[in-house]
Amino acid sequence: MLKANGINKRYGHQIVLQQASLEVKSEIKALIGINGSGKSTFLKIVAGIVEPDEGQVVINERDVSSLPPELRHVGYVPQHPALFKHLTVKDNVLYGLRKEAKVDYMKVVEMLDIKDVLHKRPHELSGGYKSRASLARALVPQPQILLMDEPLTGMDVVLKERILPDFRRVLKELQVPVLYITHDPKEAELLADSYAIIDNGKIHSVNTSIEAFDIIHNSILQAYSC
Amino acid sequence: MNKNIIKIFFIPLFFLLIVFPILALIFNLSVDGIQATMVDPFFWDSVKNTMLAALLAAGMAVVVAVGFAYYHLFHPESLVYKVANLFNDLPIALPHTVAGLALLLAFGRKTFGFLGETGAAFTLFVVILAMFFVSYSLAARTLVSGVDNMEPEVIDVARTLGDNTVQVYFKIVLPLMREAIFSGFVLGFSRSLSEFAAVIMFGGNMPGRTQVLASYVFTKVEVGDLDMAVTAAVFCVALSFLIVSVLSIRRPKYAES
Q: How high is the ipTM of this complex?
A: 0.91
State yes or no: pLDDT of A117 exceeds 90: yes
Do A171 and A201 touch, CB atoms closer than 8 A?
no
Instruction: Report the gap between the CA of B74 and the closest CA in chain A (Å).
Output: 12
Of A68, A76, A85, the CB nearest to B157: A76
Parse chain A into domains and list their residue ranges. 2-33+53-207
State yes or no: pLDDT of B91 exceeds 90: no
Parse chain B into domains and list their residue ranges. 31-256
Q: What residue of A is the nearest CA neighbor of B178? A: A86
Of A49, A79, A147, the CB nearest to B159: A49
- Contacting B with CB below 8 Å, chain A residues are 44, 47-49, 68-70, 72, 74-76, 78-80, 82, 84-86, 95-96, 98, 134, 137-138, 141, 143, 147
The per-residue pLDDT for range B106-160, each reduced to its tens digit, is 888 777 777 777 767 788 899 999 999 999 999 999 999 999 999 999 999 999 9
Is B156 within 8 Å of A80 when comparing Cβ atoms? Answer: no
**pLDDT of res. A40:** 93
Report the Cα B101 to chain-centroid distance in Å: 19
Of B154, B160, B163, the CB nearest to A74: B160
Is B154 within 8 Å of A84 when comparing Cβ atoms? Answer: yes
The per-residue pLDDT for range A164-191, each reduced to its tens digit, is 998 999 999 999 999 999 988 888 888 9
Instruction: Report the gap between the CA of A90 and the closest CA in chain B (Å).
Output: 15
The per-residue pLDDT for range A41-81, each reduced to its tens digit, is 999 999 999 999 999 999 999 999 999 999 999 999 999 89
Residues in B closer than 8 angstroms to A75, CB to CB, are 160
Q: Does domain A2-33+53-207 bear CATH number 2.120.10.30?
A: no
Is B160 within 8 Å of A137 when comparing Cβ atoms? Answer: no
What is the pairing mode between strands A74-77 and A145-149?
parallel
Instruction: Report the gap between the CA of A74 and the closest CA in chain B (Å).
Output: 6
Would you tell me which CATH number, out of the four given (3.90.550.10, 1.10.3720.10, 3.30.70.1140, 1.10.10.10), belongs to the domain B31-256?
A: 1.10.3720.10
Q: In whole angstroms, give the CA distance from residue B204 to residue B224.
A: 20
Do B55 and B190 touch, CB atoms closer than 8 A?
no
Name A58's bridge partners: A3, A63
Is A86 within 8 Å of B176 when comparing Cβ atoms? Answer: yes
Q: In whole angstroms, give the CA distance from residue B205 to residue B46.
A: 10
